[in-house]
Amino acid sequence: MKHYKICVIKGDGIGPEIVDEAIKVLDTVANKFDLDFNYEHYLMGGAAIDVFGEPLPSETLEGALNSDAVLFGAIGGPKWDDVERHLRPESGLLKLRKGLGAFANLRPALVFDELVEASTIKPDVLKGVDIMVVRELTGGLYFGEPREKQIDKAYNTMIYTSDEIRRIAKVAFEAAQKRDKKVTLVDKANVLETSQLWREVVSLVAKDYEDVALEMMYVDNASMQLVRNPSQFDVILTENLFGDILSDEASMICGSIGLLPSASIGGKVGIYEPIHGSAPDIAGQGIANPIAMILSAAMMLRYAFEEEAAAQCIENAVKKVLKSGYRTKDISNFGAKEICSTEEIGTHISNIIADE
């Protein structure tokens, strides 16, 4: 039996509800594949501010650093909106990403056949869409210094070094080699110096991956192309803020933001988190879609533990549940046989895994 220590951070809003379902599914997978998961729970975000007065207590960062992987729900909410920026829940997540060195954020956007009609985009545009957004996660405007908010003036700094660009570019090319062998670098090189550097460095890295085609696209065009003809993309490589925005856009192509998982890797320990936020407006109602969270657990099995069969087992069970017409409210506009609660979806997925 293989043993894994998982640092669990449920967070705020719908975080606890969806993480519970991921754990339910993981426990079923553990039984089936003879794995042993040891969950250690830590606070981050608003929940940590309430108890420790800070969004990332040192014990949480240490717990994460001493684990094999971090399974994270979501953070934030109106209750903490007025606190100073460095004490906001979001600052906790950014510090965790930085503290773990998780510079590469993989955000797969895959259209499930069963949900083609659930998207706001026409079905024929969606055929064959399978995109991997590779988002730089520990640089750019999110972390650049100097930054300041004064009374009548405020500024942030977008800064990248060639080392930061090179390491994320390698992740993108390696991902593309296992996929459709195409990388689209998304930037704003017609305006920004940082984007010019990205183009130079990425073009050099591309020389080591002759089997992968490199294409460059301005971010405004890319956001338009994503809804016009999303199947032209394979791997989208981009900096932090552009990746944040484009991955939300990509999620709506797939039908709901409640479906997209992510893996934040490259450092000592990876973070596995849905791309969506804490959705305070629906928290506690049992209606949140747990699928992005459950698929993030699958990514954890794949990337952190190299348990590919177990990861695929979860992904197949998710597909089967969608095929059976079990849907949370967010994807119930088409093909829903039964509108389910967060907990019911988790149980359906778990039962399929157990019965297979």
Would you please indicate which residues are annotated as catalytic (active-site) residues? 142, 188, 220, 244, 248
Q: Given the rule CB under 6 A, which of 2-10, 78-86, 90-98, 228-236 is the region that contacts ligand IPM? A: 90-98
Using CB under 6 A, pick the residue from 90, 117, 180, 249 that binds ligand IPM: 90
Give backbone dihedrals phi and psi of 329, rounded to 5 degrees, phi first.
-55, -40
Spatial contact of 284 and 294, defined as CB atoms under 8 Å apart: no
Beta bridge partners of 134: 106, 237
Q: How far is the CB of 171 from Mg ion (least distance, A)?
A: 19
Query: Is 30 buried (19+), middle (13-18) or exposed (0-12) by CB count in 10 A?
Result: middle
The residue type of 243 is G
Q: State the DSSP code for 300.
A: I
Q: How far is the CB of 90 from ligand IPM (least distance, A)?
A: 4
Report the C-alpha gap between 117 and 179 in whole angstroms.
25
Report the C-alpha gap between 111 and 132 in whole angstroms.
12
Nearest of 348, 346, 335 to residue 112 by alpha carbon:
335
Using CB under 6 A, pick the residue from 35, 93, 115, 134 that binds ligand IPM: 93
- Report whether the peptide linkage leading into residue 274 is cis, meaning its omega lies within 30 degrees of zero: no
Report the C-alpha gap between 158 and 163 in whole angstroms.
15
- Closest residue to Mg ion, judged by C-beta, is 244
The residue type of 190 is N
Number of other residues whose CB lies within 10 A of the CB of residue 8: 22
Q: Given the rule CB under 6 A, which of 87-95, 113-121, 144-152, 225-233 is the region that contacts ligand IPM? A: 87-95
Q: How far is the CB of 28 from ligand IPM (least distance, A)?
A: 27
Footprint (CB under 5 A) of Mg ion, residues 214-273: 244
Using CB under 6 A, pick the residue from 17, 114, 244, 307 that binds ligand IPM: 244
Q: How far is the CB of 80 from Mg ion (least distance, A)?
A: 17
299 vs 317 by CB, closer to ligand IPM: 299
The residue type of 50 is D
Q: Given the rule CB under 6 A, which of 88-96, 111-119, 170-178, 335-343 is the region that contacts ligand IPM? A: 88-96
Tokens describing residue 217: 């696209």
Q: How far is the CB of 277 from Mg ion (least distance, A)?
A: 7
Q: How far is the CB of 57 from Mg ion (least distance, A)?
A: 23
Site map for Mg ion, 152-181, x if CB under 5 A? ------------------------------
Give backbone dihedrals phi and psi of 82, rounded to 5 degrees, phi first.
-95, 0
Footprint (CB under 6 A) of ligand IPM, residues 273-292: 275, 277
Would the annotation count 36 as a binding residue? no
Footprint (CB under 6 A) of ligand IPM, residues 140-169: none
- Closest residue to ligand IPM, judged by C-beta, is 90
Spatial contact of 51 and 41, defined as CB atoms under 8 Å apart: no
Count, in order, helices (H) and strands (E) of the chain. Answer: 12, 14
Report the C-alpha gap between 48 and 51 in whole angstroms.
5
Spatial contact of 213 and 160, defined as CB atoms under 8 Å apart: no
Would the annotation count 248 as a binding residue? yes
Binding-site positions for substrate: 97, 107, 135, 220
Residues engaged in binding ligand IPM (CB under 6 A): 90, 93-94, 244, 275, 277
Binding-site positions: 77-90, 97, 107, 135, 220, 244, 248, 277-289
Binding-site positions for NAD(+): 77-90, 277-289
Binding-site positions for Mg(2+): 220, 244, 248
Residues engaged in binding Mg ion (CB under 5 A): 244
